Amino acid sequence: MRLIFLCGFVFLLSSCTAVKVVTFPVKVAYKTVEITGKTTWKIVTAPLPDNELEGIASWYGPGFHGRRTASGEIYNMYAYTAAHRTLPLGTYVRVINLENGKSVVVRINDRGPFKKGRIIDLSYAAAKKIGMLEKGTARVRLEILSKP
C-alpha cells in the first residue's frame, strides 16, 4: 500500500512541474528557453538567415557609454563591439562597408538594432573604422568568423 501511495505521489509531483517557454521578440526565434523547475535550461539557437548577411548598419555611442549590455558587460563605445538581434552573444563578425570597402571585426555583446530595416548596430569605434560616422548608416556585409 505504501509503494502505491509513494508512486502516486511521485507521479503527481512530476506532472505538476511547470514548464515556462520564453522566446525573444525577433523575426526568427533566436532562443527558446525551457525552464523546468529552477535548474534545467535548454537553449536552442537558430542559424542566421541568409537574407540577413547584407543590410544597413547603424552605430550607437555616447548615450549608451557606461551602461550594461545584454551580455552583462559595461558598454564601451571605444571597443570594437556590436549589437545584433539573433547572433549568439560572443560571436565575432567581420563587418564590411560596401560603400568604401573598409572592414572591422567586432564581437556581438548586445541586442539590437531596434529600428526596422537595420541588421547591426556598431560601437562608435567600429563605425569610425569603417567610415560611417558622419552619414550614420552604411550598407554592409556580415561575415561570421566564430561563434561561442
Which is more confident, 81 or 61? 81
CATH 3.30.450.80 assigned to domain 50-146? The reply is no
> How does DSSP assign 27-96, residue by residue?
SS--EEEEEETTTEEEEEEPPPPGGGSEEEEEEE-TTTTTSB-TTSSBP-TTSSEEE-SSSPTT-EEEEE
What is the tens place of the pLDDT at every residue in 9-47? 444 444 444 433 333 333 333 334 444 544 444 444 555
Give the total residue count for the chain: 148
In contact, 115 and 56? CB cutoff 8 Å: no
* pTM, two decimal places: 0.66
What is the tens place of the pLDDT at every residue in 95-126? 999 999 999 999 999 999 988 899 999 999 99
What residue spans define the domains of the chain?
2-45, 50-146
In whole angstroms, give the CA distance from residue 126 to residue 60: 10
